[in-house]
Structure 1
């Protein structure tokens, strides 16, 4: 097994190196495969059962924030190195971990298929391997997520909506799958949705004045107030005097982001219906559109009770991240 592992490490290093070859020769690479948000972990089963495997699970199967139930970042499949061959090598996101005298912590694209990200961790002891995982995991997670987002976008780009509501109302375009339909359109508000098993996936868009959110100390509270006011005005619940608000029990998470080439805030949390027991996850981007003196708000939210929602929200994120501000915004 040790000899096989060493040979496999060498083959991976050679494959990664050939990806960076600047010469004119190009390798043919098959299309990568696998469900979105899946991760293939190639490592010895005994390592997988021990502290190194625990570290991998802690990092790559960590709970996703902003969902109402526990769901992992990636669905992990573990394979021992001896069966890492054939079509398994075409997996889109791969983490290779091997106990070896060589110390590596490296990520490279398109080693065996395209598009693909392969992260390699090796070390002579479990302690060194865990240390390398600790330093590489955030970078690897970002790389895996990027290739998974690209795959999700590739899949829905095959059939896009021709509706012009976003362009006519806000001067923006977005790659929205054709099955999404505009259900409500008013001045400065567009709502698109799609029926899914047991519920709906939704996209809303509106703008706020440029000077909104000027006080950093009340930023999160101001986001909640904005969402609640929009929900009360545009997103009714099933009965009179019921409408969407931000869940009060837990404040949403806020992160810096860049969307459509512009700085933005990414907001993740849970919505609920005021006066009625309904809830679900939301993802909001508050985008600084200085050229048009506004904050452009794009949001995706899902209603799917008793159902896992990670992949629904991932698709919404992939859609929102295709926003393009190149078209001119409408004149007020």
Structure 2
């Protein structure tokens, strides 16, 4: 099913966004009439990180279709110490979809060909007759994507079905595909916005010389520690969240090192050896919370390498401080090295969703020399 969805994303792109002969973007206005726009004249997209504006019939949002939308977009983020939805959603009726909402960084249109209300007809009007026939003839089609419909840096997703039930089923069966579209977009925005300073570039050069690796170190980060097998960079503001990034490497021995319990064990060994909770107390060190909250694991492909992602909570052994983290464990077979890279944050009693997303975007910049 996922291969089919990826094919649909590519095949249906032109249904959501086409180009006129001058290269301008063409979109529809709810009546099926095309309007041409050129990206260079568009304003920048607005909105908070992780925020999505959903345009749909609000009566349907209060029913089963809305329940499916909430299940997909408001699914709790795994590995956080407090419950936070994956995205913050704002649901807008088509006739309230004014200029303010049109400039949103993330837009979703929810279109069912079932229904005759004014809102339904407006949404159905975003498709031409040929597209409607394609939806009716192939129930497996349910989503298409485009960029920059009303603003630069904007991501647009159209969710559609021949009727509410078909759309609901496709949504729930492919929730991860839908979520990933915006998760990837948000991480890319963060990566694009991260800036390195002369000082952080100097840190990176030292890390590269010592460990033979490269990872983006943002401005205002300081180098806390650099050893033959370990690097720790951190941002410690007077007020606000503390952000930390570390890299550890060792000789790769066996596949068993990817077992979940062994990854936790490795993390705790690194924390005990290198990451202190209090510089004035050598007996204070980082450990993984594994009693009240278990880490969450996921297998991913990172730079064409089998990788185990781990998310969870951490604390110091004397309970003086704690927070959340995300890590990748993988092997560079050419070098025979196992790498454990992690971003962790300290921000008591505050939301961590976007902080962890930022840490993920930093981890994705890692490369071996």
Long gaps (5+) in structure 2: 1-11, 26-37, 115-131, 136-140
Query: Residues 205 and 275 of structure 1: is their aligned pair in 2 closer, same or farther, counting only changes over 3 Å?
Result: same
Match in the other structure for 2:159: 121
Of 179, 201, 220, the match for 2:260: 220
Long gaps (5+) in structure 1: 1-13, 328-332
Residue 291 of structure 1 aligns to a residue whose secondary structure is: coil
Q: Does residue 230 in structure 1 map to residue 270 in structure 2?
A: yes
Q: Does residue 41 in structure 1 map to residue 84 in structure 2?
A: no
Of 4, 16, 19, the match for 2:17: 19
- Counting only pairs closer than 5 Å after superposition, residues 28-177 of structure 1 correspond to structure 2 as 28-29=38-39, 30=42, 31-101=44-114, 102=132, 103=135, 105-110=142-147, 112=149, 113-123=151-161, 125-157=163-195, 161-162=200-201, 163=203, 164-177=205-218
Query: Residues 18 and 57 of structure 1: is their aligned pair in 2 closer, same or farther, counting only changes over 3 Å?
Result: closer
What TM-score, normalized by structure 1, do the two folds share?
0.85
Contact 1:105-1:136 within 8 A present in 2 as well: no
Partners of 1:198 and 1:90 in 2: how far apart? 29
Partners of 1:247 and 1:209 in 2: how far apart? 26
Deviates more, 1:266-275 or 1:153-162: 153-162
The Cα shift of 1:24 comes to: 6.8
Residue 231 of structure 1 aligns to a residue whose secondary structure is: helix
Deviations 1:23-68 (A, max 9, x none): 7734312343322211111112212222221211111111101111
Partners of 1:282 and 1:315 in 2: how far apart? 11
Residue 298 of structure 2 aligns to a residue whose secondary structure is: strand
Contact 1:220-1:251 within 8 A present in 2 as well: no
Partners of 2:246 and 2:264 in 1: how far apart? 16
Query: Residues 89 and 199 of structure 1: is their aligned pair in 2 closer, same or farther, counting only changes over 3 Å?
Result: closer
Query: Residues 220 and 301 of structure 1: is their aligned pair in 2 closer, same or farther, counting only changes over 3 Å?
Result: same
Contact 1:204-1:298 within 8 A present in 2 as well: yes
Residue 367 of structure 2 aligns to a residue whose secondary structure is: coil
Contact 2:284-2:316 within 8 A present in 1 as well: yes
Partners of 1:182 and 1:240 in 2: how far apart? 19
The Cα shift of 1:261 comes to: 4.1
Contact 1:92-1:147 within 8 A present in 2 as well: no
Deviates more, 1:259-268 or 1:41-50: 259-268
- Total equivalences in the alignment: 311
Deviations 1:270-303 (A, max 9, x none): 1121122432111111121112110122100111
CA RMSD of aligned residues (A): 2.5
The Cα shift of 1:199 comes to: 4.3
Q: Does residue 317 in structure 1 map to residue 360 in structure 2?
A: yes
Once superposed, which parts of structure 1, at least 4 consecutive aligned residues long, lie more than 4 Å away?
20-24, 101-104
Of 182, 185, 190, the match for 2:231: 190
What TM-score, normalized by structure 2, do the two folds share?
0.77
Contact 2:295-2:312 within 8 A present in 1 as well: yes
Query: Residues 225 and 206 of structure 1: is their aligned pair in 2 closer, same or farther, counting only changes over 3 Å?
Result: same
